[in-house]
């Protein structure tokens, strides 16, 4: 099995390991990542579970560009099973919010751009729809308007 430690280091995301890469055309790359999270906290009884239950289907998470290639991370979230209540729960990772198709750092980079560039220009250069860029702007604006987030 090839060792993707170098790509893992260059990617620089916490709690992931690169397991595969694929170049798509001249301007896209996919880096398949695997979570290194070893446990999940059961939302019902708050106990930590180390028992891996299953790995879900891979999702494509957009991340910051690498070597001027637009970058996606195929990532399959894992489920853990709580030993106490037998419920399963999805792992929480530091780099992506649940059910969101973008890494947190990608979202932050796009949000920063929305503060100085027109939405349409960002959408075009990132090949996103204007609705998505608008959505990222609104989410970011909401977060940055909370009192706790105003001090940086
Ligand atoms: Zn539980």
What pLDDT digit, counting tens, does each position of 36-84 carry? 999 999 988 999 999 999 998 999 999 999 999 999 999 999 999 998 8
User: How far separated are the first and last CA of the chain, in Å rounded?
Assistant: 43
- Cβ proximity of 70 and 25 under 8 Å: no
Distance 42 CA to ligand 1 centre (A): 5
Distance 54 CA to ligand 1 centre (A): 16
Beta bridge partners of 81: 51, 88
Residue 34's nearest CA partner among 13, 50, 48 is 13
Tell me the three state secondary structure of residue 145: helix
Distance 103 CA to ligand 1 centre (A): 28
Helices (H), the chain: 5-11, 104-114, 119-126, 130-145, 147-150
Q: Say whether pLDDT at 121 is over 90.
A: yes
Distance 85 CA to ligand 1 centre (A): 4
Residue 146, pLDDT score: 64
Cα gap 91→15, rounded to integer Å: 11
Distance 35 CA to ligand 1 centre (A): 21
Residue 3, pLDDT score: 80
Ramachandran area for residue 67 (φ above 0: left; ψ -120 to 50: alpha; else beta): left
Distance 89 CA to ligand 1 centre (A): 9
Residue 152, pLDDT score: 46
């Amino acid at each position: 099995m090839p060792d993707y430690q170098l790509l893992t280091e260059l990617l620089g995301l916490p709690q992931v390991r690169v397991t595969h890469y694929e170049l798509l055309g001249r301007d896209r790359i996919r880096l398949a990542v695997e979570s290194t999270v070893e446990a999940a906290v059961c939302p019902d009884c708050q106990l930590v579970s180390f028992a891996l239950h299953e790995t879900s289907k891979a999702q494509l998470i957009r991340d910051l560009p690498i070597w001027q290639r637009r970058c996606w991370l195929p990532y399959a979230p894992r489920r853990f099973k709580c030993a106490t209540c037998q419920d399963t729960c999805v792992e929480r990772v530091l780099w992506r919010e649940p059910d969101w198709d973008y890494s947190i750092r990608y979202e932050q980079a796009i949000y920063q751009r929305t503060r100085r560039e027109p939405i349409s220009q960002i959408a075009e250069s990132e090949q996103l729809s204007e609705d998505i860029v608008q959505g990222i702007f609104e989410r970011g604006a909401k977060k940055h308007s909370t009192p706790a987030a105003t001090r940086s």
